[in-house]
Structure 1
Amino acid sequence: MPSAYADIRVEQEGGVARLVLDAPARRNALTVEMAQAMVRACDDLDADPSVGAVVVCGAGEYFCAGGDRPTLAAVGEDPADPERYDGMGDIYRAFARVGELRAPTIAAIRGGAVGAGMNLAMATDVRIAARDAKLASGFIPIGLHPGGGHGVLLGRTGAREAAAALMLFGERVSGERFAELGMAWAAVDAADVEDVAMTLAARPGADPDLARRTAASMRMELGPPAMTWAAALQLERPEQMWSMRRKAQGGS
């Protein structure tokens, strides 16, 4: 696996990889080059069968401050310019690609997540947030329409009421409140965020093949759109049969 990407760092401990946003001077705000590197890093993680879980986190004291302001300003000067239009597509693609990772994913959120940073956090399967982290949609307060499928990402995890408060009314919440709203699995002390995420990730990381198959089933079942129970019964059957045969033959 390549060790160097633009403002992205990948580390691995056993079956768990850490995808680190590594631009702390700008609070890990996403540039086009950083987004492109994130996509390449995800491709490499998927190509490595030893990876059973991925923890997404930010270097320094902040998870992700959204899109890089100079990048967004340049796009605003001529949004129809093909290069700038494609550049925004690359930023959207970055969090979509994290959401497509074959292994189960966890966002470890310290400091805060705003705008595209919220999209990135919500693209993962599970979130662990610092109690004092600040979470915000952040688009309307700075005069921008949300992008990247923001409403779907907020609404598929939390209640519509919470999604509307964040997206339409510019509300900001703490990590503790974020967890109370059901948009994060747990809120913990900032110093413990990544340790808690790595401990959680160690379980699927111990059996990458099973973890990837189970993640694929769950995501297809829950959607959006969600499957019917009858469809889920048929979807799960071959994978469960595979796991039973593997166990009988002395596998995990």
Structure 2
Amino acid sequence: MTEIRYEVGDGVARITLDAPDRRNALSVEMSRELTDAALTAGADRSVGAIVVSGGAHFCAGAVRSVLADAGRDPAEDGAYRNLETVYQAFTTVGSVGVPTVAAVRGAAVGAGLNLALATDLRIVSRTARFLPGFAQIGIHPGGGHYTLLARVAGREAASALGLFGDEVDGERAVALGLAWAAYDDGEVEEQALTMARRVARDPELARRMVANFRRETTSGGVSWDVAVELERPAQMWSLRRR
């Protein structure tokens, strides 16, 4: 792996996005590496939790070239599959069979916000920025964005962020239910690891608990996988429209 760092300790797999020059914006290759890291953790029975982080900048979304290629010809096989690869990165993190925690510092934008919302729990910096960013660059949200927002923080927050493009900091994210706790920047990763280590003490139990947790807390409306496909035509249209 070249842009994802992966390490395991105390039953916790740490997956770190490591492309600071572009604020961890997801390229196709980085998305593949992120998917591979999540699957590696899921296949390791000694792993009882995953922490996803990005250092000073959590994730600035998808790299613009992926969106631009899709915009030129949304139905072209390569462009379609490349955007799908970006989706697969956060849907894999969201479905891997162990509890997941996002440690969010800096900005979580667009697909990066989807990645944070895909995890089971978020520990954030007080100054972290949660912003959709889709409408701001003239495209429809993708990746099941509305469903992710609504299932974590409810319809009102999903409307304010996803529809109206509002932005919230870490403390406001906690107040809205988008995150569990906010800390100073230097404490975020360690606090996320503390939470993860707690459940990872018994990996087999952690896996059984998270499976039922997700079954029992599924929100109403369409399922996430359906939402991903539901949003895709509108997003492809908006990309082509640009």
TM-score, normalised by the number of residues in structure 1: 0.85
- Among 206, 211, 216, the alignment partner of 1:216 is 211
CA positional deviation for 1:77:
1.7
- Among 43, 48, 53, the alignment partner of 2:49 is 53
Aligned to 2:234: none
What is the rounded CA distance, in whole Å, between the counterparts of 1:202 and 1:120 in structure 2?
21
Aligned to 1:81: 76
AA matched with 1:110? R
Give the 3-state SS of the residue equivalent to 1:18 in structure 2.
Answer: strand
1:24 maps to 2:14: no
CA positional deviation for 1:42:
1.4
What is the rounded CA distance, in whole Å, between the counterparts of 1:70 and 1:82 in structure 2?
16
User: How many residues are paired up?
Assistant: 221
What is the rounded CA distance, in whole Å, between the counterparts of 1:34 and 1:25 in structure 2?
13
Aligned to 2:11: 15
Q: Which runs of 5+ in 1 are unaligned?
A: 227-252
Aligned to 1:68: 63
What is the rounded CA distance, in whole Å, between the counterparts of 2:184 and 2:95 in structure 1?
29
| Cα RMSD after superposing both structures | 1.1
CA positional deviation for 1:225:
4.3
Aligned to 1:134: 129
What is the rounded CA distance, in whole Å, between the counterparts of 1:42 and 1:200 in structure 2?
18
- Among 155, 172, 179, the alignment partner of 1:177 is 172
Equivalent pair of 1:6/1:33 in contact (CA under 8 Å): no
What is the rounded CA distance, in whole Å, between the counterparts of 2:60 and 2:17 in structure 1?
11
- Percent identity, aligned pairs only, is 52
Aligned to 2:98: 103
- Indicate the structure whose relative CO is greater, using CA pairs within 8 Å and at least 6 residues apart: 2
Aligned to 2:140: 145
After TM superposition, the runs of 4+ consecutive aligned structure 1 residues lying more than 4 A away are: none
CA positional deviation for 1:71:
2.1
CA positional deviation for 1:159:
2.2
Q: Which moved more, 1:66-75 or 1:182-191?
A: 66-75
What is the rounded CA distance, in whole Å, between the counterparts of 1:112 and 1:130 in structure 2?
10
Equivalent pair of 1:56/1:105 in contact (CA under 8 Å): yes
State the Cα deviation string for residues 30-68 of structure 1 (Å, max 9, x = none).
Answer: 011111111111111111001001000003x10000001
TM-score, normalised by the number of residues in structure 2: 0.89
- Among 159, 166, 178, the alignment partner of 1:164 is 159
What is the rounded CA distance, in whole Å, between the counterparts of 1:225 and 1:144 in structure 2?
26
Equivalent pair of 1:46/1:103 in contact (CA under 8 Å): yes
CA positional deviation for 1:74:
2.2
Aligned to 1:112: 107
Aligned to 1:240: none
AA matched with 1:103? V
What is the rounded CA distance, in whole Å, between the counterparts of 1:141 and 1:84 in structure 2?
22
Q: Which moved more, 1:63-72 or 1:206-215?
A: 63-72
Larger of the two Rg values belongs to structure: 1
State the Cα deviation string for residues 178-235 of structure 1 (Å, max 9, x = none).
Answer: 0010110001111100010001111111110000000001101111349xxxxxxxxx
